[in-house]
Amino acid sequence: MPIATWRRRDAPAFRQRVPALFPDSRVLVYDLAQTQAHLDGRPIPALPPGEHPDDLLNDEEAAALLGVAPSTVRAYATQGYLPAGTTVYSLRVWARRDVEERRSAPPRQGKGGGRPPGEGKGPRKAHAYEGDPRLPIAAAALSTAENTPRTRIAAALAAQHGGSTRTWERLLTQAE
């Protein structure tokens, strides 16, 4: 039967008897057991009661569980704070277990958990100028121009040897 005929003739009775899993969604998805029972003319079975970790939630249901907007759930999935989700008939859904894991550990972000609260970021990286061939040039310039401001020495070295003034200032500091 053509889909247009089914939509016109059979879909209203089907939608009346079989509830959509995500009624507010643009794409209507139905439970397979309920759909099969309707097509076979049997009574429609009820959905399993309660919540199960394998339940699939759309972005609105996941957002309600997390207490954020649906667009934030989609952003979390894009940024890796939530798994990417599964696409079912062009509708992206997430397992309840993944959403609840995210809800139970909000401050630590990402799949690996991130840095625990209160733990420092560690030491800053120092500029590694050891073994730099420009270091002896900077040391020689410091020894010959004792009362000249460091910025003027750095500007002269940058003009003569290339590079930025800031790099030469760092080299001069390292050469001290």
Cβ–Cβ contacts within 10 Å for residue 146, how many? 6
Assess whether pLDDT exceeds 60 at residue 110. Answer: no
Q: What DSSP line would sit under 147-175, residue for residue?
A: SS-HHHHHHHHHHHH-S-HHHHHHHHHHH
Name the CA radius of gyration of the chain, rounded.
Answer: 32
Give CA separation, 121 vs 105, 124, 127, in Å.
Answer: 20, 8, 18
pLDDT score at 135: 87
Q: Is the pTM of this model over 0.85?
A: no
- How do residues 2-36 score in pLDDT, each as one tens digit? 989 988 998 898 888 998 888 877 778 888 898 99
Q: Please tell me the distance from the alpha carbon of residue 92 to that of residue 74, in angstroms, as a whole number.
A: 9
User: Who wins on pLDDT, 125 or 169?
Assistant: 169
Per-residue pLDDT tens digits for 38-69: 989 999 998 888 888 888 898 988 999 999 99
Whether 137 has a pLDDT exceeding 70, the answer reads: yes
